[in-house]
């Protein structure tokens, strides 16, 4: 699973392989752990495929999220960000540089709702966000 190519991943999820889809997924695989805005990805990929439209990148990201190949992180101050989803993980958000990082907190898998919440809600996913300062920003003063 970890070593699957972009093409294999698209096919496994029932998506037709197009040059645009392959390009987006390949770049996200190359920089796994990075969480991109759609505009950043568009900017980075235009060098390789000059006719790549901004709207196409948005559509492809939405498709990748829908089939579970990518994750969508909610906007905090800035834009919505997208990352590759190779394995389940949670996130750390740096409030100084405003970047997201993947983290694997021990015990996260065991987290569950207790009564009375358990009776009130049907949980489909657990997304944990740690917030603070990353190693680079720990010495900086907040803006």
**What is the binding site for Zn ion (CB under 5 A)?**
83, 94, 96-97, 102, 134, 137
Determine phi and psi for 81, rounding to 5 degrees: -120, 155
Rounded to a whole number of angstroms, the minimum distance from the CB of residue 34 to Zn ion is: 9
Q: Is 99 left (phi over 0), alpha (psi -120 to 50) or beta?
A: beta
Cis, bond preceding 139 (omega within 30 deg of 0): no
Q: Which is nearer to Zn ion, 80 or 137 (CB)?
A: 137
Q: Which is nearer to Zn ion, 57 or 102 (CB)?
A: 102
Rounded to a whole number of angstroms, the minimum distance from the CB of residue 41 to Zn ion is: 15
User: Which H or E run contains 132?
Assistant: strand 129-132
Rounded to a whole number of angstroms, the minimum distance from the CB of residue 134 to Zn ion is: 3
For residues 16 and 46, the answer to whether their CB atoms sit within 8 Å is no
Q: Which is nearer to Zn ion, 69 or 102 (CB)?
A: 102
Calpha distance 52→132 (Å, rounded)? 36
Three-state DSSP state, 117: helix
Q: Which is nearer to Zn ion, 29 or 134 (CB)?
A: 134
Rounded to a whole number of angstroms, the minimum distance from the CB of residue 133 to Zn ion is: 6
């Amino acid at each position: 699973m970890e070593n699957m190519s972009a093409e294999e991943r698209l096919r496994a999820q029932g998506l037709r392989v197009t040059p645009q889809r392959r390009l987006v997924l390949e770049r996200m695989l190359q920089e796994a752990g990075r969480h991109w805005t759609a505009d950043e990805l568009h900017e980075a990929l235009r060098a390789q495929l000059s006719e790549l439209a901004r709207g196409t990148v948005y559509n492809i990201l939405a498709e990748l999220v829908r089939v579970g190949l990518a994750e969508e992180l909610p906007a905090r101050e800035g834009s919505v960000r997208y990352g590759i989803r190779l394995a389940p993980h949670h996130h750390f958000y740096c409030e100084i540089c405003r970047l997201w990082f993947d983290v694997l907190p021990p015990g996260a898998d065991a987290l569950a709702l207790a009564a009375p919440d358990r009776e009130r809600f049907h949980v489909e996913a657990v997304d944990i966000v740690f917030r603070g300062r990353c190693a680079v920003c720990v010495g900086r003063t907040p803006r």
